[in-house]
Amino acid sequence: MGKYIQVEDGVKLFVQDLGEGIPVIFLHGWPSNHLMFEYQFSRLPLDGYRCIGIDFRGFGKSDAPWEGYTYDRMADDLRAVIDELQIENAVLIGFSMGGAVAIRYMARHQGHEIAQLALMGAAAPVFTKRADFDHGMDPDDVTSNLIEATYQDRPKMLGKFGLDFTHSKTKAGMMVWLESLCLQASHHGTIKAAIALRDEDLRGDLSAVTVPTVIFQGTKDKICDPDLAQLLSESITDARVVLFEHSGHAMMFDEMDKFNKELLLFLNQMAATNQIPRPASQNL
* Nearest CA among 129, 153, 152 for reference residue 142: 129
State how beta strands 49-54 and 114-120 pair: unpaired
Per the annotation, the verdict on 199 as an active-site residue is: no
Q: Write down the catalytic residue from 28, 32, 47, 96.
A: 96
Q: Write down the catalytic residue from 28, 34, 167, 249.
A: 249
- Across the beta sheet with 12-18, what order do the strands follow? 2-6, 12-18, 49-54, 22-27, 90-95, 114-120, 213-218, 239-244
* E strand segments, 105-185: 114-120
CB-CB contact of 124 with 200 (8 Å): no
CB-CB contact of 82 with 90 (8 Å): yes
Per the annotation, the verdict on 207 as an active-site residue is: no
Per the annotation, the verdict on 96 as an active-site residue is: yes
Q: Write down the catalytic residue from 55, 76, 221, 225.
A: 221
Catalytic residues: 96, 221, 249
